[in-house]
């Protein structure tokens, strides 16, 4: 995996020894702490903004963390004399009306575009990110490993994926190549190099080949899940606790076209994707098993 040739200064809310070991300095705080943002940006050459909120109880929380905090970090970068700003957005920003999360990611992009001034900036829109250490996609791997994967949406829906190593490689390459075309500020979708993306049947087939078994795709009509999504949204508002399966998230999951249509030529050669799902599935599954997040497979007799 590509690596930066220097140690970055990190903004961290809580102790994270593995991350801190990679840092030249750690600033304690979160994205709503303007003092911490100023300290983070001080004398920085490049700001890499990868923080954000993926689950929240209310729309306002998404906006505050994903959009307003981006605007504040852009202002801190300009005040410090930073020259470049890289924003990790999301492919969800392409469809901002689907959910509060998607709307907040589009608003974050707009905050950078409108507040950049003389900053050179790049906006990356990754699709579903998976790989070692990721808990968000763990349920999908659990289902694939079990032999049955239940998904909302109609047959024919397609989506892109990217392995975390490819995403990290793209970020590192851009930071080290200020002349790369992606620094033109136009949102750049990313993927793993699979131009037409995947359908759930593709994932089941690929995972089945890796596991040596057939995997069944069970499609659930979105309207049958609508009460669960509504209940999740209501519970989040009442309890003020973040929920993963809200009405908005269900609309995202049911959307038929999340194919990235990436433009890898906008990235430096060393930042272009290398890990297709067949390889990424196996390595991620093995990592989950070693960490005890998934029950180890039985050895063949």
What is the full per-residue pLDDT of the chain (301 aa) written as tens digits? Answer: 455 567 899 999 888 888 889 889 999 999 999 999 999 999 999 999 999 988 887 889 999 999 999 999 999 999 999 999 999 999 999 999 999 999 999 999 999 999 999 999 999 999 999 999 998 899 999 999 999 998 887 788 999 999 999 999 999 999 999 999 999 999 999 999 999 999 999 999 999 999 999 999 988 877 655 545 445 444 445 456 656 666 778 888 889 999 999 999 999 999 999 999 999 999 999 999 999 999 887 644 3
What pLDDT score was predicted for residue 229? 46
Return the SS3 of 84.
strand
Within 13 Å, how many C-alpha atoms sit on residue 239's CB side? 10
Residue 151 DSSP symbol: E
Element (H, E) at 159: strand 158-159
What is the C-alpha separation between 54 and 66, in angstroms, rounded? 9
40 — phi, psi (to 5°)?
A: -65, -40
What is the C-alpha separation between 189 and 92, in angstroms, rounded? 10
Q: Mind listing the domains of the chain with CATH numbers?
A: 1-125 (3.40.50.720), 128-162+194-259+274-296 (3.90.25)
**What is 49-70 written as a DSSP string?**
E----S-BSSHHHHIIIIIIHH
What pLDDT score was predicted for residue 271? 97
Tell me the pTM. 0.90
* Residues making up the chain, counted from first to last: 301
What pLDDT score was predicted for residue 221? 76
CB of 149 within 8 A of CB of 204?
A: yes
What is the C-alpha separation between 26 and 23, in angstroms, rounded? 7
Cα first-last separation, the chain: 35
CB of 48 within 8 A of CB of 23?
A: no
Q: Give Cα separations from 218 to 4, 40, 82, 225, 294 (angstroms).
A: 42, 47, 50, 13, 21
């Amino acid at each position: 995996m590509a690596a930066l040739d220097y140690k970055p200064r990190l903004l961290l809310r809580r102790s994270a020894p593995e991350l801190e070991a990679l840092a030249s300095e750690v600033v304690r705080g979160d994205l709503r702490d303007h003092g911490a943002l100023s300290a983070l940006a001080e004398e920085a050459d490049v700001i890499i903004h990868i923080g954000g909120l993926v689950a929240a109880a209310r729309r306002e929380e998404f906006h505050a963390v994903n959009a307003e905090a981006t605007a504040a970090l852009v202002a801190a970068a300009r005040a410090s004399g930073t020259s470049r700003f890289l924003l990790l957005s999301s492919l969800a920003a392409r469809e901002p009306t689907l959910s509060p999360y998607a709307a907040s990611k589009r608003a974050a992009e707009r905050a950078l575009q409108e507040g950049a001034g003389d900053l050179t900036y790049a906006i990356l829109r990754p699709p579903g990110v998976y790989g070692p250490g990721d808990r968000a996609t763990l349920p999908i791997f659990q289902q694939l490993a079990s032999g049955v994967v239940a998904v909302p949406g109609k047959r024919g829906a397609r989506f892109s994926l990217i392995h975390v190593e490819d995403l990290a490689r793209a970020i590192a390459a851009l930071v080290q190549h200020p002349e790369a075309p992606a620094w033109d500020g136009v949102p750049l979708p990313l993927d793993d190099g699979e131009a037409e993306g995947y359908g759930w049947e593709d994932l089941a087939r690929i995972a089945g080949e890796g596991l040596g078994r057939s995997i069944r795709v069970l499609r659930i009509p979105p309207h049958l899940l609508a009460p669960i999504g509504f209940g999740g949204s209501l519970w989040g508002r009442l309890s003020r606790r973040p929920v993963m399966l809200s009405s908005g998230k269900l609309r995202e999951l049911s959307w038929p076209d999340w194919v990235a249509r990436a433009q890898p030529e906008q990235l430096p050669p060393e930042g272009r994707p290398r890990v297709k799902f067949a390889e990424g599935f196996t390595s991620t599954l093995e990592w989950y098993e070693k960490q005890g997040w998934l029950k180890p497979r039985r050895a063949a007799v």
